[in-house]
Amino acid sequence: MNSPNEDETGNDRAAEIEEHHRYKITAAVNEILRACEEVADHGTHGFWTPTSPAAYPDTTELITTAHRDILDPLTQAITAAQATIHAIEAEQRDGA
């Protein structure tokens, strides 16, 4: 049986870990929202406006621009958030 001080220390540590996890999850999701705001700047009234130097870009240029302006930034933010959440889930499973 643990002494009251050991139990209190364990509870404090658990609360610290929980707070740290909440902070990390919130920060990761906020990064997704920031990425969404940034990619929204590439559109007008909900429609994508490609930022290509060509007046009438070909399909390859549209694909490149879509990746650069929209898809890659969102994918990176989502992948980072998923990695953060998976790491926290693993810590919880392992009892850390």
pTM: 0.78
Query: On the CB side of 44, how many CA atoms lie within 13 Å of its CA?
Result: 3
Q: How far apart are CA 23 and CA 32, in angstroms?
A: 14
Distances (CA, A) of 46 to 7, 18, 40, 69: 54, 38, 8, 15
How many residues are present in the chain?
Answer: 96
For the chain, the domain total comes to 1
Task: State the pLDDT confidence band at 33, using cuts at 50, 70 and 90.
Answer: very high
- Supply the pLDDT for residue 52: 72
Residues 36-87: pLDDT tens digits? 999 888 888 888 888 777 778 899 999 999 999 999 999 999 999 999 999 9
Q: How far apart are CA 47 and CA 41, in angstroms?
A: 10
Range of the domain at 17: 4-49+56-93
Contact assessment for residue 25 and residue 92, using Cβ atoms and an 8 Å cutoff:
no
